[in-house]
Amino acid sequence: MKVIKRRRDKGRSGSGAALTEFAPTLGLLFFLLIPLIDFVIAPIRYLVAAELTTELTRKLALSKKWSEAVSLAETDRWHQQFAGKWGIGLKEPKLALICSNESQSVSIPAGQSIPSAWLPNGSNGPCDYLLQVSMDAEISLFDLGRVGLVDLREPIQVTLSANSHWENLGRDPDTNQFYINE
């Protein structure tokens, strides 16, 4: 009896089959997906910085006096510390008080007093009083160096601004001056 030896078909094994897709996948990861992560992270950090600016503005607008709001903005650093935890660098806030009526408005920078015509009983009244806070912010991205065509080492520079109505239009009983002008 004659034994017939069949030649076995040796097919390709499954090991190493994904190796050919590995390099293009890494290319997509480093040149497309990682830069796209910053397009998701940067807006989230921007929203955090904008909300911190709005919250600081509300807090300062509830101050009793204009001078208290200015000194509180100079001493209180909670917003900068919180922003630092999110990868956001907030600079010093700049304050201004905007006095406006139906036809005109004036902006009073921090440290200056309001002209008597713009006070609540002044000749330009009735007026709306808005506290405006603006801050420069640096929104950092992931420190990945240069990835693809995008340089991810430089932070995004933005200026944030928020307004809030000044609440206290009363007078100091001791000096008879408006709190907004002290």
CA distance 139 to 136: 10
Contact 144, 128 (CB under 8 A): no
DSSP labels, 75-89: H--HHHHHHHHTTEE
Q: Which residue has the tokens 């007026």?
A: 127
CA distance 64 to 179: 6
Compute the average pLDDT of residues 102-130: 88
Higher pLDDT among residues 2 and 79, named by residue: 79
Confidence band, pLDDT 50/70/90 cuts, at residue 24? confident
Query: What pLDDT is attached to residue 12?
Result: 59
Query: What pLDDT is attached to residue 181?
Result: 80
pTM (two decimals): 0.75
How many alpha carbons fall within 13 Å on the CB side of residue 45? 24
Query: What pLDDT is attached to residue 97?
Result: 93
What mean pLDDT, rounded, does the chain reach? Answer: 83
Confidence band, pLDDT 50/70/90 cuts, at residue 144? low
**Which residues does 20 contact at the CB level (< 8 Å), separation at least 6?**
none
Lowest mean pLDDT among 12-26, 33-47, 127-141: 12-26
Confidence band, pLDDT 50/70/90 cuts, at residue 143? low
User: Facing residues of 157 across strands?
Assistant: 138
Q: What percent of the chain has pLDDT over 70?
A: 82
Compute the average pLDDT of residues 47-54: 95
In the predicted structure, residue 8 carries a pLDDT above the cut 70:
no
In the predicted structure, residue 16 carries a pLDDT above the cut 80:
no
Query: What pLDDT is attached to residue 52?
Result: 95
